[in-house]
Amino acid sequence: MNAGRQRPPQKPVFVGLTGAIASGKSTVLAELEKLGVPTLSSDAVVHAIYEDEEVARLVAERFGDQVLIDGKVDREALATEIFAEPEGRAWLEQLIWPRVGAKIFEFRARHEATNPPPRAIVVEVPLLFESGMDQAFDCTVAVAAPDNVRRARAEARGTGVSELDAREARQLSPADKAARADHVINNDGPPTSLPPQLTALLNKLT
């Protein structure tokens, strides 16, 4: 055996991160970044896609010009139209999610090609299980926090109780998300409680 031959770098673990509204998914992503893990928010990808001229044109053709502001999709106006026309949701998902999937694939491929590659690559998908995207990942992680903590966080950032309830009605319950995930991160304390949990999780995964 050639003693100078090096073992090829291990492929990063591809992790899907999810959690209920205001559970602190963005905070967890920020802490993972500090630990050297490349992260991507699918919600940020969707925001960028809605600014694409072709997407804005197709959405306006389907729902009307009232869903546009300065030539870009107004997500709140679009949500109102979808609420009034539920079948429009399926049409929109067929338009948006393939584009999101392509961006996620590009992100993963780019970081897998680095030398050395990272230990893990994490993508946050709020509707990870609801959309069936969990099948695309090596493992899944749910961020969990008690209902009273999440509601306080949501209200602090301007999300009313009725809006929160309406949005959560379209998702799996926090308990279901945690039950379906391979791992759970508890985010019911101060931010300092997260790094030890995330370090332990990365060590377990890799």
| Domains of the chain in sequence order | 14-38+118-206 (3.40.50.300), 44-116 (no CATH)
Q: Please give the C-alpha separations between residue 205 and each of 75, 134, 202, in angstroms, as whole numbers.
A: 36, 16, 5
Beta bridge partners of 139: 15
- Nearest-angstrom CA–CA distance, 23 and 60: 33
pLDDT at 2: 46
pLDDT at 203: 96
- Nearest-angstrom CA–CA distance, 169 and 91: 20
Instruction: Please name which of 181, 172, 42, 14 lies closest in space to residue 98, comparing C-alpha atoms.
Output: 42
Looking at residues 76-102, what average pLDDT do you find? 88
Give the chain's mean pLDDT. Answer: 90
pLDDT at 154: 83
- Per the model's pLDDT, the better-predicted residue between 143 and 75 turns out to be 143
- Nearest-angstrom CA–CA distance, 2 and 15: 35
Residue 52 C-alpha from the chain's centroid: 20
Looking at residues 11-26, what average pLDDT do you find? 94
